[in-house]
Structure 1
Amino acid sequence: MATLTAARAAPTFPVPSLSVPAGVLQVAWGLYNLAANPSQNDVIEFCRVPAGATVIGGWLQGADIDTGTETLDIDIGWAANGTDNADTDGFGNLGVLTGDVSVHTPVAGIFVPFANVIQDAGYKTFAAETKIIGTVNAAANAGGTGVLKVVVLFV
């Protein structure tokens, strides 16, 4: 198991501020270039959201990085932040990411909107600065390299 940190999740990268008026949509995003097929239990740290952020949506996006009979399975959630407990699939227990043409995108590639807590319980507000993460449940069958991106919409 490895922790793979994108540039926008690094502790030296500035985190967006909540100093804007209430209700103004903000975006945090991160991308990670998988140079090698990720292993089961690897954690990809995509980006960080500030304390007080209420996540109202987002998505995982990328090229079709698994070929043949796809097996790549990555969940999207958040790391523990000292106040909120970790929930590795809080924004999506996504299952196998086929990368095939789907209802979400008319071209081959990965595009999966956030769900889980947003769909079931409403939005997620974080009490402290929080890393948005992807947790690998299963490696790709073949390939497994390419860029994955996460976009997080919050107020």
Structure 2
Amino acid sequence: MRPELTLDRLATPVGEMLVVTDAGGAVRALDFADYEPRMLRLLARHWGPVDLTPGRAPDRVRDAIAAYFAGDLTALDRVPVKTNGTTFQKDVWSALRSIPAGETVSYGALAARIGRPRAVRAVGLANGRNPVGVIVPCHRVIGANGTLTGYAGGVERKRALLAHEGVMV
């Protein structure tokens, strides 16, 4: 049975966001409008064929996103998400949610956090397949030398998100 999913579009300071929620109000995907094909691929990869109905995300999700961009950097910590990936991917995504706003970690440090210090490349791949960007803050992962590395929403957007959180990059 296909999940019933709603697609909402929200204006943010870093571009229009696409927010996909399920009937229970959990966020299944969040991406930027200019990366909609990527979001659709990730949804299909994780959930199989899905039908997206245009509509409003629950107020608590919309309010949390607005609060985050208004300066409440912990507002997204309370947003429920529902992901579907391998156990390894879920471990990486869970570890991403434990990185506080205003902090960054390297891919190696993230791999160590999940008890797989040699799985740096696999952590990078899991990071790139994160379907719930910003809420599951893959933008907080940087290169071992402190440089910004690839980000599915674009490196400039990553820089803007980190600057919003007070990280000097």
When normalised by structure 2's length, the TM-score is 0.29
Greater helix proportion: 2
Give the structure, 1 or 2, with the largest relative contact order (CA under 8 Å, sep 6 or more): 1
Greater strand proportion: 1
When normalised by structure 1's length, the TM-score is 0.31
